[in-house]
Structure 1
Amino acid sequence: MTAQPHRKPITGPFILTVSGNYFDYDNPDQSDFGIRDIAHALSNICRFGGHSLRFYSVAEHSVHVSRLVPKEDQLAALLHDAPEAFIGDMPKPLKETLSDYQRLEERIEKAVMARFGIPLPLPQSVKRADVQMLRTEQLHIMNNNDDWHFTYGEEPVDLADLGITGLGLSPDEAANLFICRYAELRLEANEYQEHSE
């Protein structure tokens, strides 16, 4: 039995997502993707360009970032790296040297955030929490405490404050954690809307 395509493939640059839909890099806003595509991909992408001492996914990182920000910014924090589901996690120092890549990332970010109703630019609290987690990961995943200029003097987070004892879930565990966190935040948002009407 041959799998049937969901639609005719795009003629420009594209990828086939885990849900069987095509993601069109030229027209990301017209691509068919959902939260499961994002969770699956991010849970299989290792942070630090794969140079971590143990596997640590972008999905797990994103869940932790979402727990460090005010309630109103938590969904934005969970999805702050969602474009990486389609372009991978490039280390920041390298990314800063590739202007074409940055433009592509911005185009995909606009499409992803629009899909989930998240306004851009992302809140400052998300950017700060992202750096705080980077510092935390630097210590716990990379076993390194050097002064990285792009951590802006932020201190690492105490893992106990996140309600965890360690970092480094398997891809399946990270995907499930990401999906559960997304569902939790959507449920809270729906309950808030119902009570405020």
Structure 2
Amino acid sequence: MTWILTSTGKRFDYADPQPQQIDILDIAQALAHECRYAGHARRFYSVAQHSVLVSQIVPREHALEALLHDAHEAYCKDIPRPLKALLPDYRAVEDRVDGVIRAHFGLPAKLSEAVATADLVLLATERRDLMPHDDVPWPILDGIEPLARRMNTVHPERAQAMFIRRWVELGGSR
């Protein structure tokens, strides 16, 4: 068996992911319940909330891509970058799932520079506001400034609603 049952009752097959297996409601549900940083933030902080925030700081033409930049994590989970680097086979599955999602929603095949930069700005902000204090530099954040405003986290149900609301604002369709 290479498939999972999603929250909307679809079967998502890792061996053969297809566009008809993708549903924005599944993505919103799963990302709202997926905690970033492998659960090591000081408070629960969902991938859905992160995605909404990234979508709000990019130019409008990149907002939908930003909202969905981690959509593959609805099916593949949010694996920390250092661990993911040790799992090339996992990365191949994740890339395949990401490609199907990007094609399904009409997104660029590769992550745009604007979204990648905004993702790093959020990472710097999250580190400052949500992670335990640590003086060790994160090389990936060299030259990246966090947002001026401080972050607050929301419960999964609210994050899910925020994600769907942002999806609708951006003209998304299932």
Whether the TM-score (by the shorter chain) exceeds 0.5 is yes
TM-score by length of 1: 0.83
Q: Secondary structure at the match of 1:186?
A: coil
Instruction: Please state if 1:52 is matched with 2:52.
Output: no
Q: 2:109 aligns with which of 96, 106, 120?
A: 120
Per the TM alignment, residue 153 of structure 1 is displaced from its structure 2 partner at its CA by: 2.6
Q: Secondary structure at the match of 2:28?
A: helix
Amino acid at match of 2:157: D
Residue identity (%): 44
Matching of residues 43-192 of structure 1 within 5 Å: 43-144=32-133, 146=135, 147-159=137-149, 166-186=151-171
Per the TM alignment, residue 18 of structure 1 is displaced from its structure 2 partner at its CA by: 0.2
Per the TM alignment, residue 167 of structure 1 is displaced from its structure 2 partner at its CA by: 2.1
Contiguous gaps of at least 5 residues in structure 1? 1-11, 160-164, 190-197
Per the TM alignment, residue 182 of structure 1 is displaced from its structure 2 partner at its CA by: 0.6
Amino acid at match of 1:80: H
Mapped contact 2:19–2:101 kept (Cα < 8 A): no
Q: Deviations over 1:8-56 (max 9, x none)?
A: xxxx311100001100001112552211100000000000001111000
Distance 1:28 1:145 in 2: 39
Find the counterpart in structure 2 of residue 36 from structure 1. 25
Distance 2:13 2:20 in 1: 6
TM-score by length of 2: 0.94
Mapped contact 2:28–2:164 kept (Cα < 8 A): yes
Q: Which has the higher contact order (CA 8 A, sep 6+)?
A: 2
Per the TM alignment, residue 68 of structure 1 is displaced from its structure 2 partner at its CA by: 1.3
Q: Secondary structure at the match of 1:15?
A: strand
Q: How many residues align structurally?
A: 172
Mapped contact 1:23–1:31 kept (Cα < 8 A): no
Give the CA RMSD over aligned residues. 1.6
Per the TM alignment, residue 152 of structure 1 is displaced from its structure 2 partner at its CA by: 3.1
Find the counterpart in structure 2 of residue 162 from structure 1. none
Distance 1:70 1:143 in 2: 31
Mapped contact 2:126–2:151 kept (Cα < 8 A): no
Q: Secondary structure at the match of 1:28?
A: coil
